[in-house]
Amino acid sequence: MGASFRNVGEIKALAGCDLLTISPKLLEELDSSNKEVYESLTEKSARKADVEKVTVDEKTFRWMLNEDQMASDKLSEGIRKFAEDSRKLEKLLKEHLSKAK
């Protein structure tokens, strides 16, 4: 899932991806734009790509992740931020629902 976008160009580059997490500010920018967005990622283009298939088991994946400092840092940062936002959302929903009673 694509997330943590800094600008609309990054989002457009992933047009065709099934799941993206986009901030409200960037959603507004996309909504207000009159420019057409073309699908960048398709199954057809993926099949044509000259990319070597990589198959790894969990043990190898964990080792490779551990060896990539930036990947490890960004993954843990992203998980912490999503968890924090989840707690904020739960709090907002509880407040909203308690006011609705």
How many other CB atoms are there within 10 angstroms of residue 11's CB atom? 20
Q: How far is CA 98 from CA 34, 90, 92, in A?
A: 40, 12, 10
Query: What percent of the chain has pLDDT above 90?
Result: 74
Burial 49-84 (b: 16+ CB within 10 A, else e): eeeeeeeeeeeeeeeeeeeeeeeeeeeeeeeeeeee
Is residue 13 pLDDT above 80, yes or no? yes
How many Å apart are CA 12 and CA 39, to the nearest integer?
8
What tens digit of pLDDT does each residue of 76-89 get? 998 999 899 999 99
Q: Compute the chain's Rg from CA coordinates.
A: 19
pLDDT on residue 6: 92
Is residue 101 pLDDT above 90, yes or no? no
Boundaries of every domain in the chain: 1-50, 52-101
pLDDT on residue 1: 61
What tens digit of pLDDT does each residue of 30-64 get? 999 999 989 988 999 888 999 998 899 999 999 99
